Structure 1
Amino acid sequence: MKKVILTGKEKSELLVEGIVTVILLLMLNFAVVMMIRQMIAGNPSLESAIWGVKNGVVLGNAYHLWSWQNLFIAVMGIGDAIVVYWRLIRRYHQMQMRHVIAELHYIAEGHLEHRISFEVNTDLQKVIASINALVDSTVRSMEEERQIEKSKDELITNVSHDIRTPLTSIIGYLGLIEDKQYRSEEELLKYTHTAYLKAKQMKVLVEDLFEYTKVRQTTTPLNVVSFNMAAMLEQLAASFELEAGKKGMEVSVSTTPDVIMMEADTEKLGRVFNNLIVNALKYGDGGKHIFLDATKVGSEVVVKVSNDGPPIPNDALNQLFDRFYRVEESRSQETGGTGLGLAIAQSIVTLHGGYIYAESSADLTSFVIHLPLKIGQTLTQRGTEK
């Protein structure tokens, strides 16, 4: 912070202001004295009462150090000094305000990185602090707006790319069929089957995209019910038992305590766990186990979906929940992933007032979910914050 530095012109203005004020005060003092003299002219008793020395300290034989006349002159002198000081301070504050306004105009011209760094000893300092805070808030809002626009552009680009790839294949194979460029019925069935698979891939992408945009909205309603998390995980394990067996994997469930009653939207939470288990089956190559663990900790439940497949690189862990992010592009295309599953899972968990993160080591890759046991209070707080 720095003090306002006056220009040469402003210093001259202050000097002229002081001189003019002194001259005006001297003229006023002279006028007051003349009025008093006229009032007491021809009245010796009144003059004696006003100007005479009734009490005082005498220096020598003639000069009275303290008298009504000396007191009157002193009071007038002090009053004049106060008026001059007040006038100069007032003008100085006006000049400070002028400098602040000039800085504000500079910022308004587009120099949003600039801040007013003046230090003043008046309420103007609060105004300066408010202006700087307002500019900071504006810059943050503009940056957030830019990020939103960038995010929208990236979303459109990624969706266009992911839709165009299967769509191109569909059009290509249907074009071959349309032009009768097949040699046998077996080849025709091959073309139609490939087009069918690509169409299903597009359908999955569109459904995931719809789900993602829906759960990203904070106003998305939740159908909250009371349920047993332990029972839900057991049902999930049973539903994936056959598919896991085909891949040589086993799904096991562990809960502490045995019954964990909580509140949530079971349909949306089911989507979260389905996505995580499907990912474990797709990318847990070489692994033998998928572990579903739930533990009640205070007022929340911590659920881990783990597998003993290949670890995820550390530099990829923080990007896993970015939409359309794939650790290995070729492998995801091969397995038909859209890159939206984990982003959807994160949005659903956030809707419930919880959070999710991933951790990976040579032994286990785990997705850890923290959820409140009572979601009603969390949703009320979220609505109040809005």
Structure 2
Amino acid sequence: MVNLLIGIIFILLCVIYIQYKMRKNSSKNLRYTYEKLESIVNEKTGEKLLVMTDDLELQKLLVAINQLLDAKQKTNADHAKVEISMRKMLSNISHDLKTPLTVILGYTEMLNKDKTINEEEQQILLEKVHVKTLEVMELIHKFFDLAKLESGDKAIEMTKVNMNEVCREKILSFYDLVTTKGFHVHIDIPERNIYALGNVEVLGRVLNNLISNAITYGDDGKTLGMTLRDDETNVYIDVWDTGKGIDESHIDKVFERMYTLEDSRNRLYQGSGLGLTITKRLVEAMDGKIHLSSKPYEKTIFTVVLTKMLF
């Protein structure tokens, strides 16, 4: 009987000792976790919490903390990327504003100081000032357009859009210009009506931007095309040219807010990097997507994808 009691007491002492060691290890692990987490947060390192433990609850806690650290580090990286992009865009916009404003200043100084300029020359200089002023206004409008789109201040009214009509109207509005420039025009728009969920005005701006870019940067190929097609769920508009194209390494960047074609093909798509960014935001505002594929001097295609409407 005495031996039994001694055995029970010994077992209880062992259990108490084990529990004490477990609590001590748990306390030690928690203290290490706290100190390490504090160091990671304060020093903004990319480390993760690594603790060897058999405590299932502590393991779950560590997994959750590491997930939060991943999210925070991604947010920090995105924020840093946005800051760099903003600085680049402001630098580009500043440069693009400075150039025409410098020209305007030069012309106005000539008009103000040179009294020998005759009326005809004055008219020519005033016309140049007018053109440069329009350039400045266009850039400012683009900047504010992008700001409004990204802020989401104004919701776009979505309706059933006859894609055939919009595509025909837009490509025909450029027909005189492209034929004057010697372009061959290829239009592939089905006779049957195709409908999509969108906004006529917004879609018109998108196509206007894409066609203008194709004319400007596809001049080497002298070919412009538009194709309207669909499948069971989506409607696709391809605007393409056969010009210089875009290097594969730059394709993923052309829609970035600060991307300029200095990085690709002679200041591609607006010096400030706003043109295609606005186009992409407009497409996304219609719950659509836009893609780019390019084989230089063969075919460069911008594809707008919208949701198909059957009824």
TM-score tier (shorter): 0.7 to 0.9
Partner in structure 2 of residue 164 of structure 1: 98
SS at match of 2:151: coil
Distance (Å, rounded) in 1 between the aligned partners of 2:187 and 2:71: 48
TM-score of the pair, normalised by structure 1: 0.72
The residue correspondences of 1:17-166 to structure 2 (distance < 5 A) are 68-122=1-55, 123-166=57-100
Partner in structure 2 of residue 238 of structure 1: 172
Confirm or deny: 8 A CA contact 2:247 2:264 kept in the other structure: no
Q: Computing the radius of gyration over CA atoms, which structure comes out larger, 1 or 2?
A: 1
**Structure 1: tracts of 5 or more residues without a match:** 1-67, 375-386
Distance (Å, rounded) in 2 between the aligned partners of 1:80 and 1:184: 111
Which of the numbers 284, 287, 297 marks the counterpart of 1:353?
287
Is 2:305 the counterpart of 1:365?
Answer: no
**Alpha-carbon deviation of 1:250?**
4.3
Aligned-residue CA RMSD (Å) = 2.6
| Range with greater deviation from structure 2 (131-140 or 70-79) | 70-79
Confirm or deny: 8 A CA contact 1:112 1:135 kept in the other structure: no
Which of the numbers 95, 112, 121 marks the counterpart of 1:187?
121
Is 2:233 the counterpart of 1:299?
Answer: yes
Distance (Å, rounded) in 1 between the aligned partners of 2:291 and 2:213: 15
Deviations 1:89-146 (A, max 9, x none): 2222222222222222322431522322112111112222222222222222122222
TM-score of the pair, normalised by structure 2: 0.88
What percent of counterpart residues are identical?
Answer: 25
Confirm or deny: 8 A CA contact 1:240 1:251 kept in the other structure: no
SS at match of 2:253: coil
Confirm or deny: 8 A CA contact 2:149 2:281 kept in the other structure: yes
Amino acid at match of 1:140: K
| Range with greater deviation from structure 2 (248-257 or 184-193) | 248-257
Confirm or deny: 8 A CA contact 2:96 2:271 kept in the other structure: no
Amino acid at match of 1:216: E
Confirm or deny: 8 A CA contact 2:197 2:286 kept in the other structure: no
Distance (Å, rounded) in 2 between the aligned partners of 1:95 and 1:329: 56
Distance (Å, rounded) in 2 between the aligned partners of 1:125 and 1:336: 52
**More RCO (CA 8 Å, sep 6+):** 2
SS at match of 1:318: helix
SS at match of 2:261: coil
| Range with greater deviation from structure 2 (302-311 or 266-275) | 302-311
Is 2:137 the counterpart of 1:203?
Answer: yes
Change (3 A) 1:342 1:111: closer
Change (3 A) 1:165 1:242: same
Distance (Å, rounded) in 1 between the aligned partners of 2:31 and 2:271: 62
Distance (Å, rounded) in 2 between the aligned partners of 1:314 and 1:73: 80
**Alpha-carbon deviation of 1:236?**
1.3
SS at match of 2:228: strand
Change (3 A) 1:325 1:96: same
Partner in structure 1 of residue 242 of structure 2: 308
Distance (Å, rounded) in 2 between the aligned partners of 1:75 and 1:332: 86
Change (3 A) 1:138 1:249: same
**Alpha-carbon deviation of 1:338?**
5.8
Confirm or deny: 8 A CA contact 1:182 1:188 kept in the other structure: no
Q: How many residues align?
A: 306
Is 2:184 the counterpart of 1:265?
Answer: no
Distance (Å, rounded) in 2 between the aligned partners of 1:336 and 1:197: 17
